[in-house]
Chain A
């Protein structure tokens, strides 16, 4: 009997295989390849990072729309974005990169985290696709690049942390002790180490560290950490350094709000993305000194105005740093295709090495010939809830820090 069932099960599996084959999409007809360049956008459009990913994807869409409205890349190629969802899973990203290859996509951007950038880069290398890690920031991914086809434009955590450390020392020299809550990942733990070193260098004294916690990236409750922070007494001379982002920041603020903890600190600083959390708090976001690649209100360049207007027109919202990264990644590919005079992946990779573009920030982004990293400077600013400000968040006290030469 079991053998009959085994044969039946095999038959079912094979029938399923045939059905899947019938349902499966074949590769696209690329008859319009001479006039269209397909660019893959690989992001976790679903799951816990979906809100951030949507803004990142929208930045890429705005860039593509602006370029297409201007006649296309070098007046020759219209950009067609092909969006795929990696679900924040390296295994899934390996699959969706193959989906892109099936659709004749040879250029792609995306990569929310280091491991997603790695798996996307590894998978795309198999097909000699060019992959620009737009949102990952780990120094270990570049210089040398993890694969020859990989480029990264997210500003590296040491640069971000160094900028926020110097900014904090300049603005809040009287803070005596820092409490620290970071994600339990190397990049975020390192962000505190670098920021602390920068503060100490600027202030010429040792920084005292109070409570220090490392929480899992998936943490949805931080009540234990908040209780620990509450117990530290007078906080007027204390600062709180947050190396968390996304849902973690929201959880922390919401869970800390009833305790009054956040208002007691002399200053709160954060190296992770704060904008989506701040806007979600609808005018009540606590004041946090933040650092990232970009804040829309911190520069008045012509390109930034056009980008912000187009983004607002498309979404009704202001662009955040993730949207900016998506935008810059597409602009970088535009520049590389123009320089190469071709959409061929190998030619584009060659063109990307050493390329320079002007960013909406007014700084120059230079892609290292050997490092494959696009250094484009960082921005520090204070974000605070304000019901009268766009999306309920005011951006003050901006400093644009150009990339180090």
Chain B
């Protein structure tokens, strides 16, 4: 029995998630400083982005090639709000960014979800491309120039004047958002999303309103992706059309894949691995993106279920290893299927 199973109140309330983030917030500045702490700050924002993407991709089974649309929407919303009213609280900006992205996503999903599968994925890609183009076409979005000065966004009455303050702020926001997503994953709504993913026809037969669940998942995913984008914008201090490119949408899907979507923590691990592999590789290799791509390819091929499948695979391998005098189990079939069930089904 795990510690959490002994403490059902903690488990149900997701208190361990908040405690985990609080611990990370306190420990990291003791271990890292300067650009390394900033990289962790960036990684945390991507943790939220990856977890939000997993709501759609992992929990609900909807593939989106356009998550950058909402990531960028959050960043641009914050920039526009800051330009209009520099005195506005950063927390209010985050909430507005989430609402804007959530509403746009819900409206988009109402129409786009008339399709499914690859068609839906392509429509999400089109949405992101249209928004990217709009940044060049709409004057007040400032084209290539984008926005700057977002270091000045006020949090609790003043701007964040150091990277340490930025770290604590980002950890707090990401911690609360991931906690909310944890609660959602354990709620009836979260279970409905997974039911829709596993078999939408059966889910509908059970009385679940499939379209409503999918639209809600899309909106929730977009809202939290927007918060992540706004956090990145604050961290960098600038917003530019690069935040809406397909590269961003692709990278966040890769983060989900390398972490694995069968467990809540999978995208968290994936985002950290992605950001740190990019950073460390660029310090080692000249054309680092090639090596980052190769590394991620190797991870995805070696661990199709992502990093979260690693313990299960290792345990399965130990179980399959025949003891002396026992015959070996069949090479495939029952054992593999059983492992897959453990990996995919049990949460």
Chain A residues in the interface with B (C-beta under 8 A) = 1-10, 12-14, 16-18, 20-21, 23-24, 27, 45-47, 85, 87, 89-92, 94-96, 98-99, 101-102, 113-115, 118-119, 121-123, 125-126, 138, 140, 146-147, 184-187, 217
The interface on chain B, measured as residues whose beta carbon lies within 8 A of the other chain's beta carbons, has a size of: 57
A96 to B282, CA, bound (A): 10
**Inter-subunit contact A115/B31 (CB<8 Å):** no
Q: Note all chain B residues with C-beta closer than 8 A to A85.
A: 282
User: With the chains together, A98 CA to B34 CA distance in Å?
Assistant: 6
Contact of B145 among A8, A17, A92, A138 (CB under 8 A): A138
Q: Separation in Å of the B344 CB from the closest CB of chain A?
A: 12
Whether A102 contacts B136 by the Cβ 8 Å rule is no
Cβ contact within 8 Å between B2 and A4:
yes
One of B2, B238, B307 near A3 (C-beta < 8 A): B2
CB atoms of A118 and B232 under 8 A apart: no
Chain A residue at minimum C-beta to C-beta distance from B346:
A1
How close is A27's CB to chain B, nearest CB, in angstroms? 7
B237 near A119 with CB under 8 A, answer yes
Could you say which residues of chain A place their CB within 8 Å of the CB of B4?
3
Nearest CB in chain A: distance from B245 CB, A: 8
Whether B311 lies near A90 (C-beta < 8 A) is no
**CB atoms of A9 and B32 under 8 A apart:** no
A102 touches B237 (CB 8 A): no
What are 27 A-B interface contacts by the 8 Å CB criterion? A2-B264, A4-B2, A6-B263, A6-B264, A9-B268, A9-B269, A14-B27, A16-B272, A17-B27, A18-B31, A20-B36, A23-B280, A87-B282, A87-B288, A90-B238, A91-B42, A95-B39, A96-B35, A98-B163, A99-B35, A113-B144, A114-B145, A115-B144, A115-B146, A119-B237, A122-B149, A122-B236
- Contacts known (A3-B4, A24-B32, A118-B146); A125 close to B151, Cβ less than 8 A: yes
Return the contact of A146 from the options B42, B149, B268 (Cβ within 8 A): B149
Least CB distance from B173 to A in Å reads 18
CA distance A183 to B279 in the complex (A): 30
B240 within 8 A of A: yes
Q: In this assembly, does B86 line the interface, its C-beta being within 8 Å of a C-beta of chain A?
A: no
A90 to B265, CA, bound (A): 28
Q: Is B148 an interface residue (CB 8 A)?
A: yes
Q: Chain B contact residues: over half helix, strand or loop, or mixed?
A: helix
Q: B169 contacts the other chain (Cβ, under 8 Å)?
A: no
- Establish whether residues A5 and B312, one from each chain, have CB atoms under 8 Å apart when the complex forms: yes
Residue of A nearest to B31 (CB): A21
Q: In this complex, what residue of A is CB-closest to B347?
A: A2
Complex alpha-carbon distance, A275 and B85, angstroms: 45
Contacts of A24 in B (CB 8 A): 32, 36
- CB pair A92–B31 under 8 Å, yes or no, is no
CB distance from A148 to the nearest CB of B (A): 12
Q: Are A5 and B163 in contact (CB-based, < 8 A)?
A: no
Q: How far is the CA of A136 from the CA of B309 in the complex (A)?
A: 47
CB pair B236 A119 closer than 8 Å: yes
B window 108-140: CB within 8 A of A: 136
From residue A95, how far is it (CB to closest CB) to chain B in Å?
5
B307 and A94 contacting across the interface, CB-CB below 8 Å: no
Cross-chain contact of B238 among A4, A8, A115, A185 (Cβ < 8 A): A115
Which B214-238 residues have a C-beta within 8 angstroms of A?
232, 235-238
- For the complex with contacts A90-B236, A95-B42, A98-B34, 6 further pairs of A-B residues with Cβ separation under 8 Å are A2-B263, A4-B311, A6-B263, A16-B276, A17-B31, A94-B235
User: Which residue on B lies nearest to A22, using beta carbons?
Assistant: B31
| Chain A residues whose C-beta falls within 8 Å of the C-beta of B347 in the assembled complex | 2
Asked if B188 is at the interface (CB within 8 A of a chain A CB), the reply is no
B308 CB–A CB distance under 8 Å: yes
Query: B326 contacts the other chain (Cβ, under 8 Å)?
Result: no
Tell me the minimal C-beta distance from B44 to chain A in angstroms. 12
A217 vs B143: C-alpha distance in the bound complex, in angstroms?
Answer: 12
- Which chain B residues lie closer than 8 Å to A185 at the CB level? 136, 143-144
- Does B189 have its Cβ within 8 Å of any Cβ on chain A? no
Q: Are B31 and A119 in contact (CB under 8 A)?
A: no
Known interface pairs A46-B287, A119-B236; A13-B145 also in contact (CB < 8 Å): no
Contacts of B28 in A (CB 8 A): 17
Is there contact, CB below 8 Å, between B35 and A91? no
Q: A4-B311, A21-B32, A126-B151 known; A98 and B38 CB under 8 Å?
A: yes
Of chain B, the residue at the smallest CB distance from A102 is B34
| A94 contacts across to B, CB distance below 8 A | 38, 235-238
With A and B bound together, what is the CA distance between A20 and B287 in angstroms?
A: 21
With both beta carbons as reference points, the residue of chain B lying nearest to A88 in the complex is identified as B242
Q: Chain B contacts of A47 at CB under 8 A? A: 287, 289
Q: For residues 1 through 20 of chain B, which have their beta carbon under 8 Å from a beta carbon of chain A?
A: 2-5, 11, 20
- B148 near A146 with CB under 8 A, answer yes
CB distance from A14 to the nearest CB of B (A): 8
Task: With both chains docked as a complex, state the minimum distance between the C-beta of B333 and any C-beta of chain A, in angstroms.
Answer: 22
Interfacial chain B residues near A23, Cβ < 8 Å: 280
Residue of A nearest to B139 (CB): A186
Distance, CA A114 to CA B347, complexed state (A): 47
What is the distance, in angstroms, from B75's C-beta to the closest C-beta of chain A? Answer: 11
CB neighbours of A87 from chain B (8 A): 282, 288-289
Contacts of B237 in A (CB 8 A): 94, 118-119, 122-123
A2 to B42: give the CA distance in the assembly, Å: 27
A187-B144 in contact given A92-B282, A122-B237 (Cβ < 8 Å)? yes
Q: CB-CB contacts of B148-171 with A at 8 A, as 1s and 0s?
A: 111100000000011100000000
Cβ B269 vs Cβ A12 within 8 A: yes
Contact indicator B286/A45 (Cβ below 8 Å): yes
Of all chain A residues, the one with the shortest Cβ separation from B11 is: A3
The interface residues of chain A lying within 8 Å CB-to-CB of B311 are 4-5, 8
Q: Which of B231-289 contact A (CB under 8 A)?
A: 232, 235-238, 240, 242, 263-265, 268-269, 272, 276, 279-280, 282, 286-289
Contact with A along B63-78 (1 / 0, CB 8 A): 0000000000000000
- In angstroms, Cα B150 to Cα A147, docked, is 12
Q: In the complex, what distance in Å separates the CA atom of A220 from the CA atom of B150?
A: 33
With a cutoff of 8 Å between Cβ atoms, the chain B residues found around residue A115 in the complex are 144-146, 238, 240, 242
Cβ-defined contact, B34 with A91, below 8 A: no
Residue B183 interfacial (CB < 8 Å): no
Is there an interface contact between A91 and B342, defined as CB atoms closer than 8 Å?
no
Give every chain B residue within 8 A of A27 (Cβ-Cβ): 34
B238–A119 contact, CB under 8 A?
Answer: yes
In the complex, chain A residues whose CB is within 8 Å of the CB of B161: 126
B232 — which chain A residues lie within 8 A by C-beta?
A: 91
Residues of chain A within 8 A (CB-CB) of B149 are: 122, 146-147
Among B20, B35, B146, B235, max chain A CB count under 10 A is at B35
Cβ–Cβ contact A184 & B136, under 8 A: yes
Q: How far is the CA of A123 from the CA of B11 in the complex (A)?
A: 40
B24 to chain A, nearest CB (A): 9
A210 to chain B, nearest CB (A): 22
